[in-house]
Structure 1
């Protein structure tokens, strides 16, 4: 596949993967791709854990589902991320960022805008949205044949110092290399974000993965091969729109936006 085509096809996988183990050869290719990312002084501060063990995947899935349910039920999720939600193609076309909520159970469709308001947590509970999202999240993670933990070496990752910034930058580029390689391999990938939003749950994951003191757990991902026509979760969205050049590029100084 041509490289620019890979860039254009890169996306997050919201739905399920095939019930098929990820080949060891492909796992090694993903790690080789990560290792080719640039890093400050070639420090290579990244570390990764490839998780195939069914029991560990089930435990992480339970934590992911539980934290999703908790974040929705207590209102924290929408409080933090409300500004990214779009509810019509017109709104998405104007803003060209965030996520367009375009796939909902019929029962929820009349309440979408109300559900984003600060007082709407009780409504979400009545409509069982926390349970729906939590269970969908648990199932997706549990059925993913490969989970990936991304960590940083604390000898390099020192928050508050430039080395901390350089390490985060390097890890981000390593993960992007992995993400792009999944496109070439016919795979998908998704960030498992909710456990890290609740400190106690994140500590559970650290204990499960036996993370030593010299490493910092930074992120979790689920990976697998894509089915020909992936089914969508009960509550889903799309986010393929990108800002126009005039919205994020400047010419010579920040005073002159680039022309579209």
Structure 2
């Protein structure tokens, strides 16, 4: 796959992976592309744990599923991230950011916009949606042939100092390199984010992975080869829109938004 095409076609995988293991060749390739990212003074602060053991993956999956159920039942997830939810194609096209909630259980579809209100949350509890979402999340992680833990070296990652910014910046580049390459390998990747939302659950992951005091656990991802079909979770969304240039790029100073390509063609007709 052409590099630019690969970057522009990058997608997060919300559904399941095929069950076969990720080849050692592909695992090491992903580690090499991660290590090619720039870092402050070539400090290379990132560390990675490749996890294939089914028992370990099952334990991570259990923690992730419990975290999801807890977040939904308590309403924490919706309170924390409500501002990112979009409920129509028109709204998504206007804002061009956030996530478009386009896949809901049948009983909830008539109440799409109210789903994340207090009344909607009560309805979801009565319908058992939090437990179902937690189980969906557990199954997705449990069915992933490879998990990737991303850590930072505490000798470089020192919160409160510029080194912390430099380290996170470099780590972001390393992870983005992985994210942009998986598609060319027929693979997908998704952030296992729910345990991070609950400190005690995140500590369980630290303990499970035996993270030493010299390292800081920053993120966990699930990876695998993509199936031929796209099975979606109980509640799912699309997030393929990107802002127009005029919404995030400026020319010379922050006072002048960049013109979008279509506007430039209309303003400067040829012929």
Segments of 5+ residues of structure 1 without an aligned counterpart are: none
Q: For residues 233 and 186 of structure 1, what CA distance do their matches in structure 2 show?
A: 21
Q: For residues 78 and 189 of structure 1, what CA distance do their matches in structure 2 show?
A: 24
Instruction: Tell me how large the CA RMSD over aligned residues is.
Output: 0.9
| Cα contact 1:62–1:138 (8 A) shared by 2 | yes
Q: For residues 255 and 117 of structure 1, what CA distance do their matches in structure 2 show?
A: 37
Segments of 5+ residues of structure 2 without an aligned counterpart are: 261-271
Q: For residues 252 and 132 of structure 1, what CA distance do their matches in structure 2 show?
A: 50
Find the counterpart in structure 1 of residue 146 from structure 2.
146
Find the counterpart in structure 1 of residue 256 from structure 2.
256
- Deviation digits for residues 175-229 of structure 1 (CA, Å, limit 9, x no counterpart): 0001111011110000000101100000100000000000000000000000122
Q: Secondary structure in 1 aligned to 2:47? A: strand
- Deviation digits for residues 80-121 of structure 1 (CA, Å, limit 9, x no counterpart): 011111111111111101111111121110122112224543
Q: Equivalent residues in 2 for 1:76-155 (5 A)?
A: 76-155=76-155
Q: For residues 112 and 61 of structure 1, what CA distance do their matches in structure 2 show?
A: 28
| Cα contact 2:111–2:120 (8 A) shared by 1 | no
Taking structure 1 as reference, are residues 85 and 31 closer, same or farther at Cα in structure 2, changes over 3 Å only?
same
Q: For residues 187 and 230 of structure 1, what CA distance do their matches in structure 2 show?
A: 13
| Cα contact 2:62–2:138 (8 A) shared by 1 | yes
| Cα contact 1:189–1:222 (8 A) shared by 2 | yes
How many equivalent residue pairs? 260
- More displaced stretch, 44-53 vs 227-236: 227-236
Measure how far apart 1:127 and its partner are. 2.3
Measure how far apart 1:171 and its partner are. 0.3
| Cα contact 1:251–1:258 (8 A) shared by 2 | yes
Measure how far apart 1:123 and its partner are. 2.2
| Cα contact 1:108–1:127 (8 A) shared by 2 | no
| Cα contact 1:157–1:167 (8 A) shared by 2 | yes
Find the counterpart in structure 1 of residue 160 from structure 2.
160
Q: For residues 207 and 29 of structure 2, what CA distance do their matches in structure 1 show?
A: 28
Q: For residues 255 and 132 of structure 1, what CA distance do their matches in structure 2 show?
A: 48
| Cα contact 1:38–1:173 (8 A) shared by 2 | yes
| Cα contact 1:152–1:217 (8 A) shared by 2 | yes
Find the counterpart in structure 1 of residue 267 from structure 2.
none
Q: For residues 211 and 92 of structure 1, what CA distance do their matches in structure 2 show?
A: 40
| Cα contact 1:22–1:146 (8 A) shared by 2 | yes
Q: Does 1:22 align with 2:15?
A: no
> Please, what TM-score do these two structures have when normalized by structure 2?
0.94
Q: Secondary structure in 1 aligned to 2:112? A: helix
| Cα contact 2:34–2:178 (8 A) shared by 1 | yes
Q: Secondary structure in 1 aligned to 2:68? A: helix
Q: Secondary structure in 2 aligned to 1:108? A: helix
The structure that has the greater radius of gyration is 2
> Please, what TM-score do these two structures have when normalized by structure 1?
0.98
